[in-house]
Structure 1
Amino acid sequence: MTGIWQVSTATENREQAVALAESAVMARLAAGAQIVGPVISVFWHQGRYGTSEEWQLLFKTRADRYAELEAHLLSHHPWDKPEVVALPLIAGAPDCLRWVERTTEANPAV
């Protein structure tokens, strides 16, 4: 394990995705965010089957910053109960992993 996690969520449109990504990165809760879209989601929600077009966000953060990032995403997300999930990265390019670690420090020197 690297101590770095990839966190994902989705929004209804590109503008919402960019705003959410910018707020998390500016707060240094994530080193960066990638926005992918549109993607098609197929799901059951509130007892109904559905499909929708969404914009997926992928954040890179340290494991010890996850709770803060999750709280930020939940409080700034345009949806009432968005999906926010995280996966630990088991490997990665050392320079990339160090960048995530340095960038998400609570009081960065950069």
Structure 2
Amino acid sequence: MTSTTPTEEDAQKIARTVVAERLAAGAEVTGPAMSVFWHDDKLGEGQEWRVTLKTSAAVRDQLANRIVELHPWAGGAEVVASPVEWAIDHYTQWVEKFTAATE
């Protein structure tokens, strides 16, 4: 799952929070990237930071909701995901282990 934020600090906050909460097994923050976009019917551009989160289907929806809660763009957070067609077994087991529900 990925999202973009306006600052590195915002991306790091999301990464640290959701990994600590076991909604993601790991996270990567990359950037800055130059972005061109439509916002409020106006063409804009600026820098964005991407946070990439390694998660499981079991907590995917919880993770998406938590990103929206933590994101500085109220109601406008980008949250997208692509299914993994294949991964080596130990990687899949690692993700499943660290995104398992805790008591």
More strand by share: 1
Which of 62, 84, 90 is equivalent to 1:89? 84
SS of 2:17's equivalent?
A: helix
Q: Is 1:72 aligned with 2:61?
A: no
- Cα deviation code 1:11-43 (max 9, x no counterpart): 111111111110000000000111110111111
Question: What is residue 41 of structure 1 aligned with on the other side?
Answer: 35
1:53 aligns with 2:51: no
Moved over 4 A (4+): none
Identity of aligned residues (%): 37
The whole-number CA distance in structure 1 between the counterparts of 2:33 and 2:5 is: 10
Question: What TM-score do the two structures reach when normalised by structure 1?
Answer: 0.87
2 CA distance for matches of 1:42 and 1:90? 30
Structure 1 residues not aligned, in runs of 5+: 1-6
Number of residue pairs matched? 102
Q: Residues of 1 paired with 2:87 and 2:36: CA distance?
A: 30
* Structure 1 residue 47, shift from structure 2 partner: 1.1
Deviations 1:29-66 (A, max 9, x none): 00011111011111122211111101001001111211
Distance 1:93 1:34 in 2: 19
Query: Which ranges of structure 2 fall in alignment gaps of 5 or more residues?
Result: none
1:100 maps to what in 2?
Answer: 95
What letter is aligned with 2:78? E
**Higher RCO (CA-CA < 8 Å; seq separation 6+):** 1
Aligned partner of residue 64 in structure 1, secondary structure: coil
- Paired residue for 1:63? 57
Letter aligned with residue 79 of structure 2: V
